[in-house]
Amino acid sequence: MSKKFVEVKEPYVVSLISIIEITSVIRRKYLELAKKGEKSRAEGYIRFLNLTLSHIRNNVVEVTFRDVERGIELMFERDVNLGEAVNTMVAKRLNLTVISSDKDWESLRDIIDVENM
């Protein structure tokens, strides 16, 4: 998730996996800044998370247990992280294009369509 997200036009969907990943990153940044005594900046991450959640609330797509099973297989086959592997399976099942600036998606282009931001 980046500031480039605002450039993405609807329709789009976001998986629960992506929400968990962005929340983990925000939590880590929040704790780092809070530990440094930068309370205002840390709280900015919480505001960013809440704003993001309010924007995507109606665009969350289901992740099935089968998506997770197939994602685990893909994770070991392609040496990608579990989040990307599961999101690949969700995108394949729903015939969606993944939009990301993360170069790790390059190794999955033969399975799904990937558009760079």
User: Quick one: CA dihedral 4, 117, 90, 59, positive or negative?
Assistant: positive
Q: Are residues 72 and 44 in the same domain?
A: no
Q: Are residues 47 and 89 in the same domain?
A: no
The per-residue pLDDT for 61 is 94
The per-residue pLDDT for 9 is 66
**Model pTM score:** 0.82
User: Quick one: CA dihedral 11, 61, 48, 83, positive or negative?
Assistant: negative
pLDDT tens string, the chain, 117 residues long: the values are 444 555 666 678 899 999 999 999 999 999 999 999 999 999 999 999 999 899 889 999 999 999 999 999 999 999 999 999 999 999 999 999 998 888 888 899 999 999 887
C-alpha neighbours within 13 Å on the C-beta side of residue 51? 12
Domain that holds residue 98: 65-116
